[in-house]
Amino acid sequence: DQQVKQNSPSLSVQEGRISILNCDYTNSMFDYFLWYKKYPAEGPTFLISISSIKDKNEDGRFTVFLNKSAKHLSLHIVPSQPGDSAVYFCAASGLQAGNQFYFGTGTSLTVIP
């Protein structure tokens, strides 16, 4: 059973516009969320995280929003750049949810120059 879901397998955005990647989770015990970015033939690399005590965390062009009541988080990239083209994984963990991260299936972002 997939506890972390990314329902959009792919997304295409024009360079300079905003990219919005979405993630839903089912386990209310999750209290820590991360986004990883993965280029072809490489392992995922950490991008940004957010704790459940916050509803927003920003790092440069990347902002993650958390809506706990909806069990939903999103990653905003503004402005999008061609180098952002990659697969983005959402992951969640929590003290009561086991000592591990649960990953989504990923969203492949293509930024068109």
- Decide: is 83 part of the binding site for another protein (CB under 8 A): no
Least separation in angstroms between residue 8's CB and another protein is 13
Q: Examine residue 101 and tell whether it contacts another protein (CB under 8 A).
A: yes
Query: Which value, in Å, is the radius of gyration of the alpha carbons in the chain?
Result: 13
Determine if 53 is a binding residue for another protein (CB under 8 A). no
Residue 12: phi and psi, rounded to 5, are -120, 135
Closest among 4, 57, 64, 58 to 30, alpha carbons compared: 4
- Is residue 41 close enough to count as binding another protein by CB under 8 A? yes
Smallest distance from another protein to CB 82, Å: 22
27 near 3, Cβ under 8 Å? yes
Phi-psi region of 100 (alpha: psi -120 to 50; beta: other; left: phi over 0): beta
Alpha carbon distance 16, 36 (integer Å): 21
Contact status: 88 vs another protein (CB under 8 A): no
Which span (17-25, 56-64, 73-81, 89-97) binds another protein, by CB under 8 A? 89-97
What's the closest the beta carbon of residue 38 comes to another protein, in angstroms?
8
Q: Which stretch binds another protein (CB under 8 A): 18-26, 29-37, 62-70, 74-82?
A: 29-37
